[in-house]
Amino acid sequence: MASPLSLKSAINQPSGDSVFSDWNQDDSTPCHWTGISCMNVTGNPDPRVVGIAITGKNLRGYIPSELGTLIYLRRLNLHGNNFYGSLPVQLFNATSLHSIFLYGNNLSGSLPPSVCNLPRLQNLDLSNNSLTGSLPEDLKNCKQLQRLILANNKLSGQIPAGIWPQLDNLVQLDLSSNEFNGSIPNDIGELKSLSSTLNLSFNHLSGRIPKSLGNLQATVSFDLRSNNLSGEIPQTGSFANQGPTAFLNNALLCGFPLQKPCKVSTESSPASQGSTQDSGNGQKRGLSSGLIILISLADAFGVAFIGLIIVYVYWKKKDDSNGCSCTGKTKLGGNEKSHICALCSCITGFKNEESEGEDLEKASRGKGEGELVAIDKNFSFELDELLRASAYVLGKSGLGIVYKVVLGNGIPVAVRRLGEGEEQRYKEFVAEVQAIGKVKHPNVVRLRAYYWAADEKLLISDFISNGNLANALRGRSGQPSTSLSWPTRLRIAKGTAKGLAYLHECSPRKFVHGDIKPSNILLNNEFQAHISDFGLNRLISITGSNPSSSGGFIGGALPYMNSSQTDRTNNYRAPEARVSGNRPNQKWDVYSFGVVLLELLTGKSPELPTTSTSLEIPDIVTWVRKGFEEEKPLSDMVDPMLLQEVHAKKEVLAAFHVALACTEADPEVRPRMKTVSENLDRVGT
């Protein structure tokens, strides 16, 4: 049996001794050596070496050609060392290889065309080395290749055309930080399986961006930064899902999403030619184009101003007669039918009705005695009714104590007590509550009313009857739940994504939630998701309250009891959100949603994704990425509760890809929640 001892011999650094301390040539089998994986192979009585993984040990040496004699070797992972020299062509005689991870070394020379002699090659990551030369056209023979990552090398020349239509399985392409020049090949747009990233940044590419890239899947994130690209950015297909960062540092690029409009050329137009001829003859046949534009703008402004005056007078009269105004405010006591003045249609199926709540003029009444204000005029009850009702503690956190209160008409509501707080910021508090109250979406908990007094602040919202996702996944005892089938989990994920997309895109404030986690995703009896607790951090900041220090509550309240469910919120937060001083943004929510989706898929808590004691696997994101990198079977990562649902395998895999896109370390690479929602909607349909 071929032995991997050649690797030990190729190391010329003393620090390698400890790594190979148990590599003994007198052993009958290498299968118990550190970094060696073996398995039984059909037709052979003895286990064979199928994996070599020695990473991050700063080993200095060369990659021996003898590794090519390990004909059953499937994975070679030597990243994060200091291997030098070129890739030996004999390595590609190990025809079972499907994953080569040699990134983070000091390899030089060119990329051997014979790399595609490996018929099963799926993952090739040679990034962060010193490879030179051009990209071989023989790459088109890597028919099974899924990830090609050659970033941070010294590769040069043009990116050849003719390769990309042949790579039917490629999901990620990263050629960034090299020295490629010329134009982007049109046929890169024919990478039908590409679903992760297309990274061509930090090269010397020039010319226009091919419109064909718009044919790539909507989940693909472009990165074309720091090149010499020019012209207008296409607006078709997947281009609509890209942010401005994808196109930065291309001085001659223009158009959306860059804040640089393209200049309209009129040199070849007949009108322009006529104007040129007139000026050449010294004749003036009319006003100059600039003067005509100024006159047109002045006329338009005048008409618009008169129109505004007419509209203002009309709606002022309507307001005075207790009607509905298109400001979205309804006079208290008005008896006319409410009028919906605007719909938010930026996401299909999402509607944003203007709130019929109290006018902000009430904020000028001062800070006297307490007042219960209904934001939704169709939802009314008296303060005495609230005070007399029985109340049950649902939970307690830094955002206040939450009670379930059953009103006299039998309708349950959730009442959150914010505590005492400051009186000086009443107007600011009302403005914020009104903005939250305008959010109306089936996957977002609805705020119905609020109460303000000098010694008490309450928020009254819909009561969602079936607990939260944290308890649904792990139960109140912390044990895994057996009740969540794959269709149920997919329904929860889709509903949460729609609710978040609405908050980001269609809500009046374009809200950032900032604290997405399973305990903030409430479920009804049909397991429809309802996002809760958005906007509360801002209200706590305004009131300056300390909910945990408050004493009793409304009549019949139970004493506070600690919840058995402890949220480890830091594991749901994006890497940049863990740095103090950074302001929340919507990409934080995208990351948090991705972690929740991984939890739904794996059934594992984010802080304890596996029973392994390895310190190299600190969280669920790292664990799942490592699993995909090493091409582990899907059954090793998915929740065992779902293994019986064989028909859902493709759907589960598609959802994994969505979650991995959401949890990219670079926030600019993460998709918008609108895109995430649309991609999830396609799963299972």
Give the total residue count for the chain: 685
The lowest-confidence range among 209-213, 299-303, 315-319, 546-550 is: 546-550
Average pLDDT, the chain: 75
pLDDT score of 501: 92
pLDDT score of 302: 57
Q: Are 187 and 215 a contacting pair, CB within 8 Å?
A: no
Q: Looking at the annotation, which residues are catalytic?
A: 515
Task: State the pLDDT confidence band at 222, using cuts at 50, 70 and 90.
Answer: confident
Most confident of 329-343, 554-568, 586-600, 664-678: 586-600
Three-class SS of 93-108: HCCCCCEEECCCCEEC
pLDDT tens for each residue of 77-125:
999 899 999 999 999 999 999 899 999 999 999 999 899 889 999 999 9
Task: With residue 77 as reference, give the H or E element that holds it.
Answer: strand 75-77
pTM of the model: 0.51
Q: State how far the Cα of 575 lies from the Cα of 591, in Å rounded to an integer.
A: 9
Q: What DSSP line would sit under 215-249, residue for residue?
A: GS-TTPEEE--SSEEEEEPP-SGGGGG--GGGG-S
Exposure pattern of 159-182 as b/e (b: 16+ CB <10 Å)? bbeebbeebeebbbbbbbbbebee
Task: State the pLDDT confidence band at 130, using cuts at 50, 70 and 90.
Answer: very high
Arithmetic mean of pLDDT, 349-364: 35
Most confident of 148-157, 474-483, 575-584: 148-157
The per-type count for the chain, helices as H runs and strands as E runs, is 13, 25
pLDDT score of 569: 52
pLDDT score of 180: 96
Q: State how far the Cα of 166 lies from the Cα of 159, in Å rounded to an integer.
A: 15
Q: What DSSP line would sit under 248-287, residue for residue?
A: -S-TEEESTTSS-PPPPP-TTSHHHHHHHHHHHTT---S-
Q: Are 631 and 122 a contacting pair, CB within 8 Å?
A: yes
DSSP classification of residue 651: H
> Is the pLDDT score of 512 beyond 70?
yes
pLDDT tens for each residue of 286-316:
445 555 555 555 555 555 555 555 545 444 4
> Is the pLDDT score of 11 beyond 80?
yes
Q: Are 675 and 639 a contacting pair, CB within 8 Å?
A: no
Q: How far is CA 232 from the centre of its chain?
A: 27
Q: What are the two backbone dihedrals, phi and then psi, of residue 536, each rounded to the nearest 5 degrees?
A: -75, -35
Task: State the pLDDT confidence band at 208, using cuts at 50, 70 and 90.
Answer: very high
pLDDT score of 158: 95
Q: Which residues, including other chains, have CB under 8 Å from residue 528's CB and lie 6 or more apart?
A: 442, 443, 491, 492, 495
pLDDT score of 40: 78
Most confident of 51-65, 402-416, 642-656: 51-65
Q: Are 438 and 507 a contacting pair, CB within 8 Å?
A: yes
The strand order across the sheet containing 99-101 reads: 36-39, 48-53, 75-77, 99-101, 123-125, 147-149, 172-174, 197-199, 221-223
Arithmetic mean of pLDDT, 235-262: 84
pLDDT score of 466: 86
Q: 488: closest CA among 589, 600, 594?
A: 600
> Is the pLDDT score of 594 beyond 90?
yes
